[in-house]
Amino acid sequence: MRVLVTGASGFLGRAVAARISAAGHEVRTFQRRPSGVAGVEDVHGSITTPADTPYAGLAYAVSGMHAVVHLAAKVSLTGDPAAFEAVNVGGTRTVLQAAADAGVSRFVHVSSPSVAHAGSSIMGSDALPAAPEQARGDYARTKARAELLALAADAPAFSVVAVRPHLVWGPGDTQLIDRIVDRARRGRLPLLGRGAALIDTTYIDNAASAIHAALDAAERVHGQSYVITNGEPRPIAELLAGICGAANVAAPAWRVPASAARAAGSLIEAIWRARPGTDEPPMTRFLAEQLSTAHWFDQRRTRADLAWTPEVSLDEGFARLAAHYRQTP
**203 has catalytic annotation:** no
With beta carbons less than 8 A apart as the criterion, state whether 200 and 113 touch: no
Distance in angstroms (rounded) separating the CA atoms of residues 127 and 113: 8
C-alpha torsion sign, points 210, 84, 130, 272: positive
With beta carbons less than 8 A apart as the criterion, state whether 285 and 114 touch: no
Give the containing element (helix H, strand E) for 168. strand 168-169
Distance in angstroms (rounded) separating the CA atoms of residues 70 and 90: 13
Distance in angstroms (rounded) separating the CA atoms of residues 104 and 106: 6
Give the number of other CB atoms < 10 A from CB of residue 121: 14
Closest CA to 184 of 124, 231, 253: 253
Distance in angstroms (rounded) separating the CA atoms of residues 133 and 116: 10
With beta carbons less than 8 A apart as the criterion, state whether 252 and 192 touch: no
Closest CA to 109 of 49, 165, 156, 186: 165
With beta carbons less than 8 A apart as the criterion, state whether 13 and 6 touch: yes
Which of these is catalytic: 60, 139, 203, 325?
A: 139
Distance in angstroms (rounded) separating the CA atoms of residues 73 and 92: 8
- The Cα angle at residue 312 between residues 71 and 14, in degrees rounded to 5: 25
Residues forming the active site: 139
